[in-house]
Amino acid sequence: MRWGGVLRTPVGASAAALLAAILLLALVAPVLWGDRADAVDTRAILRGPSAEHWMGTDNLGRDIFFRVLVATRMSVVLALLATGIGVATGLLLGTAPLVLGAPVGRLVTAAVNIAVAFPGLLLALFFAVIFGVGRTGALLAIGFAIAPGFARLTHTLVARVAGLDFIAAARLAGVGRGRLIVRHVLPNVGEPLIVNATIAAGGALLAFAGLSFLGLGVQPPAYDWGRLLGDGLGGIYVHPAAALAPGVAVVVAGLAFNLFGEALAKGIGLPTAWGPVPRGPRSGATREGGTSMSPRARASGASAGDPVLAVDGLQVSFPGGVRPVRGVGFTVGRGEAVGIVGESGSGKSLTALAIGQLIEEPGQVRADRLEFLGENLLTRPTPARRRLLGTSLAMVFQDPTTSMNPSQRVGRQLAEVAEVHQGMSRRQALARAVDRLRTVRIPAAGRRARQFPHEFSGGMRQRATIGMGLMGSPALIIADEPTTALDVTVQRQVLRLLAGIRAADQVAILLISHDIAVVGQVCDRVLVMYAGRIVEDLPAAELRTHARHPYTRALLAAVPDMTTDRNQPLAAIPGRPADPARLPEGCAFAPRCPLADELCTRSDPQLVADDHGRRVACWHADAWADRPAPVVVRIGDPR
């Protein structure tokens, strides 16, 4: 899969081919040419390159070309052995804190941290002195020099995985520490470790060549590339080929290891992704239809007068034919509160971002109409429009911890808005900021304005973000899951604050939430979204009595509230939420719908308005016309 993908990149393929060639050479060269490399020819000592000896001969008349080929085995094997020692030691040290527990683990980690601070070559020379000059000494020296860095990497990766719940769950299941590491930890940190080991092998090869060159590594009569290089260097002015040949070999082999490691790192992608469900193939799901709303559905459900926001045929698409928003149309009147409800992947947040002009490349926004206060947002942005959006449109996001700059005082951040968009002086702007913080009921606003965001609690920070939106004179506040990250008691305050602002200044509110109860409580009108479309649009007060789309009704029945009968099973919606990359033909809800028939799976119903301005996109919307309460009760299907 991903490993195969590495081989398909040009760098990966050439590095792998090179590496394979070197390993093959290491395997066969001593067998094929061992004799010729050791054949002493006293008649031809220190010769230059000739047809007989391509790279000349050494001081015993041995053929340098074959000696370089044969030395491949020694060089590569020593490098791999050293890497093996380093990796094994590193793994032991890196997993030790997990195996031994906190107190001993801390000591090990401290020791590793000190060792990491020493330069690798220094460590190698130090060990070479301890273990004595020679092959074994150099091997251990380089191995142990690799270990600390590897131990640190292992430790970091293991610590990240060890904090995840599946480790805790395995421990609860009675899995022992050894098995825990082998079965759960190492497979999840393996890829970055393999990549690093490959690169370390390249480093070990070079280091070994260096030590042998200095006379600290392989001792005669054995020889590796470093040794050959050292022997050849003395006569470099007389016949350079004797030094160049092993030099080139070292460079090529080192490059092969390092390039392969880099290609792996790039192809596998560090660090390993921990995402939710991977999206399926991002192709083939493109469907026609939905590019424009039917005329009947256009601009319905609107309140009188000029709307604050008018959206029609809004689409958001990403490369590969994925369209998470597929033709959304609605209007928001002055002072109106409209809620958008939907599950993850329904496109509700992207709709909000598209209205706020916040969709980034490579996402693309298209619409038949996107007007805010009569200003067309589909044309190129102008400074005037930026000012209009800056002062009249406020956005509040889900996570109040990330929507403020942590290094700037809260008052300053609010004031900046007024300075940039309204041209206020610093002092005026700050005074307004304090005033706005007071409006959003921050106690001791003057003092709080001088604090940093981290000194605010979550609810206060969310109120401050709303206060930031109020720095101008907003006509519309778009709130995307503003209370999801907050506790219920704090949620109530934030919702009340929004309602209060709306009542005081005729500010329209577009509230996006997965919680149909919250939306029903705060909003005048509810838009239900499913798979990138509005499937139902109706007054919030009629949600429980007049919902006609099966999805809306199922949603209402599936979420327990304080009046749910505890002796009845909850209504369940079978199947899983639609994946925007793989939408079915026809109505997107059909695979989960109890009313779906052949018509539903064949063609997608349009959003049609009825006499009261309610809109619904369902072929069977009238099936429930006379039944007021949701009655879909079914025990969960396996999914």
Partner 1 sequence: MSRLTFENVTVRFGGRRRGLTAVDGVDLTVPDNTVVGLVGESGSGKSTLARAAVGLTPLSGGRILLDGAPVPSHGRRPLQMVFQDPYSSLDPRMTIGGTIAEAIPRRDATGAPARRAEVARLLELVDLPADRAALYPAQLSGGQRQRVALARALAGRPEVIIADEITSALDVSIQGTVLNLVRDLQRRMRLSMLFISHNLAVVRYVSDVIAVMYLGRIVEYGPADDVLSDPQHPYTQELLAAVPGSATAAEDEPTVAEPTDPHHPPAGCRFHPRCPIGPLVHPDRPDRRACRETEPVGDGHRHRAACHFAVPEPVR
Q: Which of 518, 535, 581, 616 contacts partner 1 by CB under 8 A?
A: 518
Give the binding range for partner 1 (CB under 8 A) out of 1-9, 218-226, 481-489, 616-624: 481-489
Q: By three-state DSSP, how is residue 96 classified?
A: helix
Residue 75, token pair as written in the block: 């060089």
Could you say whether residue 171 binds partner 1 (CB under 8 A)? Answer: yes
* Cβ closest to partner 1, residue 147 vs residue 460: 460
**Contact characters 230-259, partner 1, x per CB under 8 A:** ------------------------------
Give the binding range for partner 1 (CB under 8 A) out of 122-130, 389-397, 406-414, 515-523: 515-523
* Cβ closest to partner 1, residue 10 vs residue 276: 276
Could you say whether residue 488 binds partner 1 (CB under 8 A)? Answer: yes
Of residues 588-627, those binding partner 1 (CB under 8 A): 592
- Residues 105, 96: Cα–Cα separation, whole Å: 6
Which residues are within 8 A (CB) of 520 and not within 5 positions of it... i.e. 6 or more apart? 339, 526, 540, 543, 544
CA 173 to the chain's CA centroid: 30
Give the binding range for partner 1 (CB under 8 A) out of 48-56, 62-70, 118-126, 453-461: 453-461
Q: Which of 426, 447, 496, 612 contacts partner 1 by CB under 8 A?
A: 496
Alpha helices in 101-218 (DSSP H): 102-117, 120-131, 135-162, 165-172, 177-179, 186-213
Cis amide linkage into residue 187, ω under 30° from 0: no
Which residues are within 8 A (CB) of 211 and not within 5 positions of it... i.e. 6 or more apart? 124, 128, 138, 141, 142, 217, 226
Q: Which of 11, 214, 248, 570 contacts partner 1 by CB under 8 A?
A: 570
Give the binding range for partner 1 (CB under 8 A) out of 79-87, 169-177, 290-298, 310-318: 169-177
Q: How near is the Cβ of 6 to partner 1 at its closest, in Å?
A: 19
- How many residues bind to partner 1 according to rule CB under 8 A? 67
Could you say whether residue 80 binds partner 1 (CB under 8 A)? Answer: no
Q: Which of 36, 385, 492, 582 contacts partner 1 by CB under 8 A?
A: 492
Q: Which residue has the tokens 């190698």?
A: 124
Could you say whether residue 177 binds partner 1 (CB under 8 A)? Answer: no
- Residues 426, 536: Cα–Cα separation, whole Å: 47
Of residues 333-352, those binding partner 1 (CB under 8 A): 343-344
Q: How near is the Cβ of 598 to partner 1 at its closest, in Å?
A: 24
Q: Which of 21, 100, 431, 572 contacts partner 1 by CB under 8 A?
A: 572
* Cβ closest to partner 1, residue 177 vs residue 385: 177
Q: Which of 111, 121, 170, 194 contacts partner 1 by CB under 8 A?
A: 170
Find, among 463, 525, 526, 468, the residue nearest to 500 by Cα. Answer: 463
Which residues are within 8 A (CB) of 402 and not within 5 positions of it... i.e. 6 or more apart? none
Which DSSP string do the residues of 34-95 spell out, in sequence order? HHHHH---TTS-S----SSSTT-B-TT--BHHHHHHHHHHHHHHHHHHHHHHHHHHHHHHHH
Q: Which of 174, 221, 383, 406 contacts partner 1 by CB under 8 A?
A: 174
* Cβ closest to partner 1, residue 40 vs residue 164: 164
Could you say whether residue 175 binds partner 1 (CB under 8 A)? Answer: yes
Give the binding range for partner 1 (CB under 8 A) out of 148-156, 327-335, 414-422, 565-573: 565-573
- Describe the crossing of helices 64-100 and 225-233 by its angle, rounded to 10 degrees: 130
Q: Strand 337-341 and strand 508-513: pairing?
A: parallel
Could you say whether residue 443 binds partner 1 (CB under 8 A)? Answer: yes
- Describe the crossing of helices 426-439 and 410-422 by its angle, rounded to 10 degrees: 120
* Cβ closest to partner 1, residue 67 vs residue 184: 184
Q: Which of 27, 32, 164, 238 contacts partner 1 by CB under 8 A?
A: 164
Q: How near is the Cβ of 176 to partner 1 at its closest, in Å?
A: 10
**Contact characters 263-302, partner 1, x per CB under 8 A:** -----------xxxxx------------------------
Find, among 110, 117, 115, the residue nearest to 86 by Cα. Answer: 115
Could you say whether residue 564 binds partner 1 (CB under 8 A)? Answer: yes
Could you say whether residue 503 binds partner 1 (CB under 8 A)? Answer: no
- Residues 609, 603: Cα–Cα separation, whole Å: 18
Q: Which of 155, 326, 461, 514 contacts partner 1 by CB under 8 A?
A: 514
Q: How near is the Cβ of 329 to partner 1 at its closest, in Å?
A: 24
Give bridge partners of residue 608 from the DSSP assignment: 616
- Residue 152 dihedral angles phi and psi, to the nearest 5°: -65, -45
* Cβ closest to partner 1, residue 505 vs residue 637: 637
Could you say whether residue 5 binds partner 1 (CB under 8 A)? Answer: no
Q: How near is the Cβ of 571 to partner 1 at its closest, in Å?
A: 6
Q: How near is the Cβ of 406 to partner 1 at its closest, in Å?
A: 19
Q: Strand 476-480 and strand 369-372: pairing?
A: unpaired
Which residues are within 8 A (CB) of 393 and not within 5 positions of it... i.e. 6 or more apart? 356, 372, 474, 475, 476, 478
DSSP state of 592: G
Give bridge partners of residue 315 from the DSSP assignment: 326, 366
Could you say whether residue 576 binds partner 1 (CB under 8 A)? Answer: yes
Which residues are within 8 A (CB) of 280 and not within 5 positions of it... i.e. 6 or more apart? 579, 581, 582
Find, among 537, 532, 544, 548, the residue nearest to 595 by Cα. Answer: 548
- Residues 74, 138: Cα–Cα separation, whole Å: 13
Over its C-alpha atoms, the chain yields an Rg (Å, rounded) of 35
Could you say whether residue 491 binds partner 1 (CB under 8 A)? Answer: yes
CB 436 within 8 A of CB 467: yes
* Cβ closest to partner 1, residue 487 vs residue 585: 487
Could you say whether residue 137 binds partner 1 (CB under 8 A)? Answer: no
* Cβ closest to partner 1, residue 243 vs residue 557: 557
Q: How near is the Cβ of 111 to partner 1 at its closest, in Å?
A: 24
Could you say whether residue 561 binds partner 1 (CB under 8 A)? Answer: yes
> Is residue 385 classed exposed, middle or buried when 0-12, 13-18 and 19+ CB atoms within 10 A define those classes?
middle
**Contact characters 184-203, partner 1, x per CB under 8 A:** x--xx---------------
Could you say whether residue 158 binds partner 1 (CB under 8 A)? Answer: no
What is the binding site for partner 1 (CB under 8 A)? 164-166, 168-175, 183-184, 187-188, 274-278, 343-344, 441, 443, 457, 459-460, 487-493, 495-496, 514-518, 520-521, 554-555, 557-564, 566, 569-573, 576-577, 592, 635-639
